[in-house]
Amino acid sequence: MNVSTHTRLTAWITMLRLALGFYIYGATVLEVFVYYPSWPYITGGWRAFKQSVDELIIPLYVVPTFLVYIPAVLMFWFRSVAIPRWMIWASLILLLIPTISTLLIQLPIQFSLEADFDPVTYERLRYTDLWYRQPAAFAGVLLNGWMLLRILPDSTVPYAG
């Protein structure tokens, strides 16, 4: 692979990794601060509500959450020299923490809530999500921003305005 091809591939992989990372964090914020808090206000048709929203969450949130691992891993071989390897490792770990927590903790709670809304189970979901997933997700979006700032050209031209 020649240098030009490697450089273009690096740029695309980095862009895809950062774009998916920012997208996933935005979806996470909506889930945690909009979707979950609306649950206690659903007074009828809980099962239908949950089922219809879950059908949207899978393609719009779950799929991108797993797709981000492809460019995240590829960045070990295709990354800008401005991004140190430790950032790639940290980024991958910060992706894994919420994924593992979701698979082992939040999904079983979600499944138990499918049949009927239970306030105690709901509060356990909110608590585990807030303390197990969100700190890593927030640190991950900060790391994404830091990576982005490292690859942007340093401009010495003053801003007008």
Task: Please choose, from the candidates 102, 105, 76, the residue with its C-alpha nearest in 3D space to the C-alpha of residue 14.
Answer: 76
- Judge whether 36 and 129 are in contact, CB under 8 Å: yes
**Helices 46-57 + 107-115 axis angle, to 10:** 140
Q: Is 140 exposed, middle or buried (0-12, 13-18, 19+ CB in 10 A)?
A: buried
Question: Given this model, what pLDDT does residue 159 score?
Answer: 57
Tokens of 20: 């998916």
Query: Which long-range contacts does 151-155 make (Cβ < 8 Å, 24+ apart)?
Result: 151/14, 151/80, 151/82, 151/83
Question: Given this model, what pLDDT does residue 6 score?
Answer: 85
Question: Given this model, what pLDDT does residue 126 score?
Answer: 96
Question: Given this model, what pLDDT does residue 156 score?
Answer: 57
Which amino acid, one-letter code, is at 27? A
pLDDT in tens, the chain (161 residues): 777 888 899 999 999 999 999 999 999 999 999 999 999 999 889 999 999 998 999 999 999 999 999 999 999 999 999 999 999 999 999 999 999 999 999 999 999 999 899 999 999 999 999 999 999 999 999 999 999 999 987 655 555 55
Question: Given this model, what pLDDT does residue 154 score?
Answer: 64
Residue located via tokens 């790639």: 88
